[in-house]
């Protein structure tokens, strides 16, 4: 299945990362059938948000409940690297679960797209589609 992201979701990722700088932004990637329709900002509750991210667990639970009720599915997560590349860091690799979800990592104007595969992160080709 091809993975796609809407131009609006991509714009949200870039805007949220810029607004959060120098801290890490984070949030959820929502959609269905391999298409990311929305990037939803979530509060970063990590004690050191300049170097790490942790999604607010209440927002994550609410998104999963909404999905079970027929809303958009949680396809993955995003966060920013204010001073690093748009690729998984050692911390990202250590905290990954191998659940197959999509990770978007924003660094400046670049977005790296990754699949959290059982054997580690894999680059994820995707195309941008109109919102």
Model pTM? 0.96
- For the record, the structure tokens of 26 come out as 């984070």
Per-residue pLDDT tens digits for 60-101:
999 999 999 999 999 999 999 999 999 999 999 999 999 999
Helix (H, G, I), strand (E, B) or coil at 35: strand
- Spatial CB neighbours of 1, under 8 Å, sequence gap ≥ 6: 33, 34
**2 confidence band (pLDDT: 50, 70, 90):** confident
Cα–Cα distance for residue pair 128/131, rounded to 1 Å: 9
Domains and CATH numbers, the chain: 4-129 (3.40.140.10)
- For the record, the structure tokens of 24 come out as 């890490």
Strand partners, 107: 110
Q: What is the dihedral of CA 45, 20, 76, 85, to 10 degrees?
A: -110
Per-residue pLDDT tens digits for 6-33:
999 999 999 999 999 999 999 999 999 9
- For the record, the structure tokens of 59 come out as 């927002």
């Amino acid at each position: 299945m091809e993975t796609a992201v809407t131009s609006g979701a991509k714009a949200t990722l870039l805007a949220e990362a810029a607004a959060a700088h120098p801290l890490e932004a984070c949030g959820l990637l929502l959609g269905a059938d391999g298409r990311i329709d929305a990037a939803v900002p979530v509060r970063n509750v990590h004690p050191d948000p300049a170097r790490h991210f942790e999604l607010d667990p209440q927002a994550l639970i609410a998104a999963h409940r909404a999905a079970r009720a027929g809303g958009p599915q949680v396809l993955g997560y995003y966060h920013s690297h204010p001073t690093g590349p748009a690729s998984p860091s050692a911390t990202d690799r250590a905290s990954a679960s191998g659940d197959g979800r999509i990770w978007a990592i924003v660094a400046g104007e670049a977005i790296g797209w990754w699949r959290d595969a059982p054997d580690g992160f894999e680059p994820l080709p995707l195309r941008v589609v109109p919102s």
